[in-house]
Chains A and B, each alone.
Chain A
Amino acid sequence: MPPPRLTGALRSFSTVSRQDDFTQEEFDLKAKRLKRQEQFSREGLTWQKIVQFFTQHLEKKEQQAVTQELKSILQCAKQIVGVDTGQDTIESAAVFLFQTLHNKDQVGHEETQAIRQMFGPFPGSAVESCYSTVSHMVTSVGESQVEAFVRTQNGSRAWDRGAIFGRNIAFSFDGYTLDSLDPPPWLDGTDEGLDF
């Protein structure tokens, strides 16, 4: 419950605000996660591009192993998004896991949070297994090459390029606080009529 506020009363009493006539329902975390997965699958990197990248950058003799590893990532993704989900969703989740884990030393708090943000609660073992597979794949191709590949794929997103409105506008976080005033009269001894 927010504390009572002037603007709350004005919204209720006056006729100058939009009365709650929104037709659309409010979104919850679950709906938001689904929407985010959908959006992610449309952006930059795709599973096909990842498969292509590793196929092109590895010797033929290593390709069988990498195919197995790619399948293993898909399997982990399936455990995270649920077995009933479609192939597109699983691939999109696999892309997300690859992108999140490819340049990490371990599955830390940040990674766990990012994955949970995207999919909700997930089995930790699936992520650990995915992490070791991704690490092995990255080592076999070379970290810098993988990094360059991921960066190129995501380069088209405006907010990654830093073109954000207001970035150069000075903003102050100061807020109105209680004015510092003299101490209450019962503390400085001027209140003679005190009768607690």
Chain B
Amino acid sequence: MASAKVPLDEQHITGSTGPAGRECTLPALHPDHKEERCFLPYKPPPVDSSAAHIEEFLEHAHFVSEDLEWLLSLPHDKFWCQAVFDESLQKCLDSYLRHAPRALEPPSCSSLAVAEMQRSVHRSVFMVFLRMATHKESKEHFITPAVFGEIIYNNFLFDIPKILDLCVLFGKGNSQLLHKMIENIFTQQPSYYSDLNETIPSVLQVLDTILERFGLQSEPATALEPLKLTAHSRPTAHTMPQEDLLDLVMYLCDTCTTLHSFLDIFPEACRTFQAHGFLSRLSSFYELAVPDVEKAVRKRNFDKSVQEDLWKRLAHSCKKMVEIAHLIVQHTCLQPILEGAENIQSCVEELLQHFSTFLQEKRFLTDYDEEFPVADDISLLQQAFPHLDETRTSYLLEGVDSAYESVGRKKSGAHPP
């Protein structure tokens, strides 16, 4: 093992690893110190409960679990050589994040042995990511923070989709640990903020794609072209095949849950989202998609259990979208105002602007207000910033009341979408 009290990135190891067994000195972090372990990529549990499929899964997952346990047992320097230089390990971890079943997806097979094995792999994967997000494991075992930032970024040990996967897979019960991990990653490598910034247009693109596939928004290229007389009209939530509707609602549900878990665990990202006008895009998406899809789920002729499942997923998605909006409002405006930040005036202006934008999206506004009453925030605002323009706040509060009227709801009665 390499010497102590010196960061791993500055340590060297002398051994007979050179050509023809010649003695040579190499950096402690060097591909030659990696072991050929051949990690298998992860495969998800089988959909059915046939003995053969279960056996196959168990055998495969056993290898994955055993190898990850082995990896976690390695000393600090060996662990990092494996993490950085072993492509099969990176593929294994990546495949888990991509394919591991999310708790809100329909359950696959019901075998206890499968569930137990899945738990074992699940925990080990998390521990590996936790170790990779830790630049100082102990007083003796650490990496220079700046070098750590370079290592994890340049070798794609973490990237934005992986971080989002980590949040949605592990965030429910491990939010504090995950917060520390992600905070450390972003602190040591600020390029992740740039990557997040680059990713948000793709998130917005996903929302647009969902609208398009629900037949609620024209694709930009075809919108300008005249429709052929023989062309079939685009499918909508009311006309598309049931399978497609199920897929699309699942996609919406996953998108909302993933974004919510990330922003809830790492609220520092709220500002980056808002820099892309995310709130207004989200609220208008909500306004366009929710009433229409909700109507389709109510009116179309489904099997009862399918219909109920669709409804629950849609309602869950709505709740998450409202919570995402509130997280952004809270962390970009309310919190700085209450903490007496320097730019309090601009935060107040921004908050009022958000609420003014919501006024146009009446269904969204009423759902938001039921969860997070706008009047409460205005009241807080008035206490923290007594010079608030009363005409403007009255206008906003009247707008909220009028939104309830427009959608035919009573303000006091909680009524989920």
Contact A169 B202 (CB under 8 A): no
Interface residue? B40 (CB, 8 A): yes
CA distance A39 to B97 in the complex (A): 27
Interface string of A76-90 (1 = CB under 8 A from B): 000000000000000
Interface residue? B250 (CB, 8 A): yes
Contact B316 A164 (CB under 8 A): no
Supposing A16-B159, A16-B161, A18-B156 touch, asked if A3 and B203 sit within 8 A by C-beta, the answer is: no
Interface residue? B290 (CB, 8 A): no
Interface residue? A56 (CB, 8 A): no
Contact A29 B171 (CB under 8 A): no
Interface centre among A7, A11, A35, A178 (most CB of B within 10 A): A7
Interface string of A159-179 (1 = CB under 8 A from B): 100011110010111111111
Contact B69 A27 (CB under 8 A): no
Q: Which residue of A lies closest to B255 (CB)?
A: A6
The residues of B that contact A24 with a CB separation of less than 8 Å are: 87-88, 91
Query: Which of B72-80, B229-237, B278-286 touches A?
Result: B72-80
Q: Which residue of B lies closest to A157 (CB)?
A: B73
Interface residue? A59 (CB, 8 A): no
Interface residue? B411 (CB, 8 A): no
Contact A6 B164 (CB under 8 A): yes
CA distance A179 to B137 in the complex (A): 37
Supposing A164-B72, A171-B123 touch, asked if A26 and B164 sit within 8 A by C-beta, the answer is: no
Contact A35 B38 (CB under 8 A): yes
Q: How large is the interface on A (under 10, 10 to 19, 20 to 34, 35 or more residues)?
A: 35 or more
Contact B44 A14 (CB under 8 A): no
Interface residue? B59 (CB, 8 A): yes
Q: Which residue of A lies closest to B130 (CB)?
A: A166
- The total of interchain contacts (Cβ-Cβ below 8 angstroms) comes to 192
Q: Could you tell me the dominant secondary structure of chain B's interface residues?
A: helix
Min CB–CB distance B339 → chain A (angstroms): 29
The residues of A that contact B247 with a CB separation of less than 8 Å are: 3-4
Identify which of B88, B90, B131, B156 contacts A27 (C-beta below 8 A): B88
CA distance A100 to B246 in the complex (A): 48
Contact A159 B312 (CB under 8 A): no
Interface string of A14-38 (1 = CB under 8 A from B): 1111100011101111011001100
Contact A172 B258 (CB under 8 A): no
Supposing A27-B88, A29-B60 touch, asked if A173 and B159 sit within 8 A by C-beta, the answer is: no
Interface residue? B41 (CB, 8 A): yes
Supposing A27-B40, A159-B69 touch, asked if A169 and B198 sit within 8 A by C-beta, the answer is: no
Q: Which residue of A lies closest to B167 (CB)?
A: A176
The residues of B that contact A193 with a CB separation of less than 8 Å are: 298-299
Contact A165 B40 (CB under 8 A): no
The residues of A that contact B313 with a CB separation of less than 8 Å are: 178
Supposing A24-B88, A173-B173 touch, asked if A4 and B73 sit within 8 A by C-beta, the answer is: no
Contact A181 B160 (CB under 8 A): no
The residues of B that contact A3 with a CB separation of less than 8 Å are: 105, 247, 250-251, 254
Supposing A165-B79, A169-B130, A175-B103 touch, asked if A15 and B72 sit within 8 A by C-beta, the answer is: no
Interface residue? A191 (CB, 8 A): yes
The residues of A that contact B105 with a CB separation of less than 8 Å are: 3
Interface pairs (18), CB distance under 8 Å: A2-B98, A2-B99, A3-B105, A4-B248, A5-B251, A7-B164, A10-B206, A16-B159, A24-B87, A29-B63, A35-B38, A158-B74, A165-B137, A176-B168, A177-B103, A178-B104, A195-B299, A196-B301
Given A7-B165, A158-B74; 7 other pairs, CB 8 A cutoff:
A9-B206, A9-B209, A166-B123, A172-B172, A174-B172, A178-B104, A179-B316
Residues of A within 8 A of B (CB): 2-11, 13-18, 22-24, 26-29, 31-32, 35-36, 39, 113, 116-117, 158-159, 163-166, 169, 171-179, 181-182, 184-187, 191, 193-196
